[in-house]
Amino acid sequence: MSGARVESRPVIGITAYRERTQWSYWNRDADVLPTAYADAVADAGGSPLLIPSRPDAVLDSLSRLDALIISGGPDVDSGLYNQPRHPAAGEPRRNRDATEIALLAAAVSAGTPVLGICRGAQLLNVWCGGTLDQHIPDDLEKLHHGANGAFAPRRVQIKKGSWLDSALGETNSVSCHHHQAIRVLGNGLRATAWAEDGVVEAVEMEGHGMVQGVQWHPEEAQGSLLFGAFVEHCRTSARDLAVSASASRTGGSAS
């Protein structure tokens, strides 16, 4: 990792969807991602890099990244938390689950900053041994998303003293589109934000640096605040690592 790169734009990997996609004459499987993710990272001063769903081929990319974003998307496979699939849940994307779990495990082990968004927060919870509510309307009157793919504004209460509090403040209006949510919190995670109806809207991993998950979609609204704080943390962390590595090579302190 070069010091020049760290000072310019930290490289932020973003996991991509693998979906049937149509363009021009073609209708084929493709690795795709809504442009809002890459734009939010770039606008915050980061350099976005898309990561496809290939668990056998992507782990080496982690060493080239300053941070990892696990993006939103289809429902996490309920088999990963030993539950049958709810009729309202979508078909699992097992290659994507496997890819993102492998990346998440490697990132946490390496101390690489992680931000999980919507599905990404849910996957983080499942990887830590937690479970999901597979269809929120079964338990609550309020839906957490709008009709026809719209994002619904929701007010969230953020835990005082959390990293999220430092980024957004104690209350904030966010953009949501999810019908699943955390039910049982995973080991080593703590909740850091809640919706008005009590649904957990954000989590962080205790004792592992920057590992955050938010149920809402900050790339759709409030992106400049959350992505800005995340990218700045990544820039600072990468700079510190570069300085530490330089000092280790020279056998002394680096200025």
Kindly give the pairing relationship between strand 132-133 and strand 152-158: unpaired
Of 176, 217, 220, 233, which one is the catalytic site residue? Answer: 217
Write the CB contacts of 36 (distance below 8 Å, at least 6 apart in sequence).
217, 219, 220, 223
- Per annotation, catalytic residue among 100, 118, 128, 176: 118
Confirm whether 217 is a catalytic residue: yes
Based on the residue annotation, tell me whether 219 is a catalytic residue of this protein. yes
Closest CA to 214 of 132, 116, 136: 116
Of 144, 219, 220, 234, which is the active-site residue? Answer: 219
Task: Please state whether beta strands 11-15 and 67-70 pair in parallel, antiparallel, or not at all (unpaired).
Answer: parallel
Q: Parallel, antiparallel, or unpaired: how do β-strands 171-176 and 181-182 relate? A: unpaired
Respond yes or no: is residue 145 known to be catalytic. Answer: no
- Compute the distance between CA of residue 115 and CA of residue 24 in angstroms, rounded to an integer: 34
Phi-psi category of 29—alpha, beta or left, where left has phi over 0 and alpha has psi -120 to 50? beta
Residues labelled catalytic: 118, 217, 219
